[in-house]
């Protein structure tokens, strides 16, 4: 049986060990390649301060690169008698290289190791989220332009209110994603700071060069204060999950609208038959299960920041094992959100729009404000115009002009989609994904 990194002579009770390890092996598979990249940067720095010889560094880097390739191929495993990815990597190196393999841990703790792994993992996943969100944004903006002249009723209190358009509907969700992306950028900035070198949260007596690992890993800067670096565990996850929850909120609302609008009572949009499911008893049913599941998954994601907060909000400074549980909430949420974003884009690209909704006379009343405004423009006071139109509606004498001539920014006739697109592009350009990729690729050469 492999010895724990921290183990001395006393063996831990097997039930205690099972309980304390929990799902760490499962979660650490997500972190595996980032643990290796972090170790490569760490030992490169360690060699520069004289704790490794150049020959040892070369040998260890080659060993780590082999492990990285094994992880990428899908063949790497964390042995059942090994508690985490950090232990497994060191064990594999020690098996291959002997005592030299144990030297990779000098100057660090598993505390700053897992902090680093989570940050490297998170920033890579944030890039995936940003890419997928941008693709959905582009789809929504394209649909907004394509259907900008197709009118639909707008609602307040679920009562018909004023004329809207599919240009406005699609464009509204596109602009919502702009704000979501702004939050994601802020979370990325919190994430992209280097905790390595903080060790167990109190630094090290070794003359570590923290700026070197910061540069090697492509971080914007470091978490300077070593106590705060450890305090950032949980805070980073809560911050990032809050940004993901914001995207999930936009998608959940879009999914709810879509479920509503596909119902026969509305009939505003139609999903292709192959995108719907049926009933075991009602042969006519074509259910929008894809949007219902998307809504549920996105609602679940929106609860994760609060769950993380509940785990961390009564912890003082320093490390506590409570923090381990956060991984089980945090790590899987990325792929679940990515799947929801992709599925939403896939459906929205192919949705069929009803272009004659307002031909139905029951929607005539939504043009009442237009008629009031026309009377105001002719010189009638607003309150008088409002009463005139209200009485006409009550008497059944309301026969509005259904042409729309809005001109102000963001309205039916002036969607400002170019401006919305510019906002999104400005935010996207503020992520420094390229420099991160270059830094990691250089380590792996």
Locate tokens 């170790």: which residue? Answer: 39
Tell me if 154 is assigned to some domain.
Answer: no
Q: pTM to 2 decimals?
A: 0.92
Structure tokens at 377: 């423009």
Residue 391 and residue 420 share a domain:
no
190-211: average pLDDT: 96
Structure tokens at 232: 């950032």
Q: Could you tell me the residue range of the domain that residue 30 belongs to?
A: 14-106
Residues 6+ apart with CB under 8 A from 89: 32, 35, 36, 39, 64, 67, 104
406-431: average pLDDT: 96
Residue 219 and residue 354 share a domain:
yes
Q: Evaluate if residue 269 carries a pLDDT over 50.
A: yes
6-34: average pLDDT: 72
Q: Evaluate if residue 159 carries a pLDDT over 50.
A: yes
Tell me if 325 is assigned to some domain.
Answer: yes
Tell me if 256 is assigned to some domain.
Answer: yes
Residue 8: predicted pLDDT: 54
User: What's the half-sphere exposure (Cβ side, CA atoms, 13 Å) at 323?
Assistant: 22
Residue 5: predicted pLDDT: 52
Residue 429 and residue 333 share a domain:
yes
* Spatial CA neighbour of 233 closest among 316, 337, 304: 316
Residue 318: predicted pLDDT: 87
Counting other chains too, the contacts that 143-151 makes at CB distance below 8 Å and 24 or more residues apart are 143/170, 143/348, 143/349, 143/351, 144/168, 144/169, 144/170, 144/171, 144/174, 144/415, 144/417, 145/415, 145/417, 147/353, 147/355, 148/412, 148/415, 150/353, 150/355, 151/357, 151/358, 151/402, 151/404, 151/412
Residue 25 and residue 69 share a domain:
yes
pLDDT digits (tens, 9 = 90+) for 122-156: 999 999 999 999 999 999 999 999 999 999 999 99
Residue 435: predicted pLDDT: 94
Residue 287: predicted pLDDT: 85
Residue 440 and residue 346 share a domain:
yes
Instruction: Say which residue, 405 or 356, is predicted with more confidence.
Output: 356
Residue 391 and residue 319 share a domain:
no
Return the bridge partners of 221, or none: 193
Q: How many domains does the chain have?
A: 3
pLDDT digits (tens, 9 = 90+) for 52-111: 999 999 999 999 999 999 999 999 998 888 878 888 999 999 999 999 999 999 999 999
Tell me if 28 is assigned to some domain.
Answer: yes
- Cα 200 from Cα 28, distance rounded (Å): 19
- Cα 146 from Cα 167, distance rounded (Å): 7
Tell me if 403 is assigned to some domain.
Answer: no
- Cα 327 from Cα 305, distance rounded (Å): 12
Q: Evaluate if residue 437 carries a pLDDT over 50.
A: yes
Tell me if 4 is assigned to some domain.
Answer: no
Residue 286 and residue 346 share a domain:
yes
- Residues of the chain with pLDDT > 90: what percent? 81
Residue 326 and residue 192 share a domain:
yes
Residue 207, exposed/middle/buried by CB under 10 A (0-12, 13-18, 19+)? exposed
- Cα 91 from Cα 39, distance rounded (Å): 13
Structure tokens at 226: 């070593």
Residue 429 and residue 383 share a domain:
no
Q: Mean pLDDT over all residues of the chain?
A: 92
At 188, which CATH number? 1.20.200.10
Per the CB < 8 A criterion, the answer to whether 288 and 296 are in contact is no
Residue 102 and residue 186 share a domain:
no
Tell me if 405 is assigned to some domain.
Answer: no
Residue 130 and residue 82 share a domain:
no
Tell me if 270 is assigned to some domain.
Answer: yes
386-404: average pLDDT: 92
Residue 185 and residue 282 share a domain:
yes
């Amino acid at each position: 049986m492999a010895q724990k990194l921290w183990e001395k002579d006393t063996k831990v009770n097997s039930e205690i060990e099972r309980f304390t390890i929990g799902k760490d092996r499962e979660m650490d598979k997500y972190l595996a390649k980032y643990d290796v990249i972090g170790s490569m940067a760490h030992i490169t720095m360690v060699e520069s301060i004289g704790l490794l010889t150049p020959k040892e560094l070369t040998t260890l880097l080659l060993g780590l690169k082999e492990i990285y390739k094994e992880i990428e191929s899908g063949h790497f495993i964390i042995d059942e008698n090994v508690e985490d990815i950090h232990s497994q990597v060191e064990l594999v190196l020690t098996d291959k290289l002997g005592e030299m393999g144990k030297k990779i841990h000098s100057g660090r703790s598993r505390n700053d190791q897992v902090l680093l792994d989570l940050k490297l993992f998170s920033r890579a996943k944030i890039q995936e989220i940003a890419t997928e969100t941008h693709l959905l944004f582009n789809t929504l903006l394209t649909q907004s332009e394509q259907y900008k002249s197709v009118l639909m009723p707008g609602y307040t209190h679920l009562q018909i209110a004023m004329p809207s358009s599919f240009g406005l509907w699609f464009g509204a969700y596109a602009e919502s994603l702009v704000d979501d992306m702004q939050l994601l950028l802020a979370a990325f900035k919190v994430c992209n700071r280097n905790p390595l070198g903080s060790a167990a949260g109190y630094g090290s007596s070794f003359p570590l060069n923290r700026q070197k690992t910061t540069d090697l890993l492509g971080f914007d800067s470091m978490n300077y204060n070593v106590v705060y670096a450890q305090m950032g565990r949980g805070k980073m996850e809560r911050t990032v999950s809050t940004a993901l929850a914001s995207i999930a909120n936009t998608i959940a609302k879009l999914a709810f609208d879509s479920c509503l609008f596909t119902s026969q009572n509305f009939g505003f949009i139609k999903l292709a038959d192959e995108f719907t499911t049926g009933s075991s008893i009602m042969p006519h049913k074509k259910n929008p299960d894809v949007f219902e599941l998307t809504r549920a998954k996105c609602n679940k994601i929106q609860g994760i920041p609060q769950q993380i907060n509940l785990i961390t909000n009564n912890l003082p400074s320093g490390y506590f094992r409570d923090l381990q549980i956060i991984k089980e909430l945090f790590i899987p949420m990325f792929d679940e959100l990515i799947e929801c974003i992709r599925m939403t884009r896939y459906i929205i690209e192919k949705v069929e729009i009803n272009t004659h909704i307002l031909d139905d006379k029951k929607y005539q009343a939504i043009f009442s404000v237009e008629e009031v405004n026309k009377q105001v423009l002719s010189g009638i006071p607003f309150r008088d115009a409002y009463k005139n139109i209200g009485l006409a509606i009550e008497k059944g004498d309301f026969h509005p002009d259904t042409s729309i001539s809005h001109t102000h920014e963001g309205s039916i006739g002036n969607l400002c989609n170019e401006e919305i697109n510019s906002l999104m592009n400005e935010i996207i350009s503020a992520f420094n994904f390229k420099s991160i990729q270059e830094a990691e690729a250089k380590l792996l050469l």
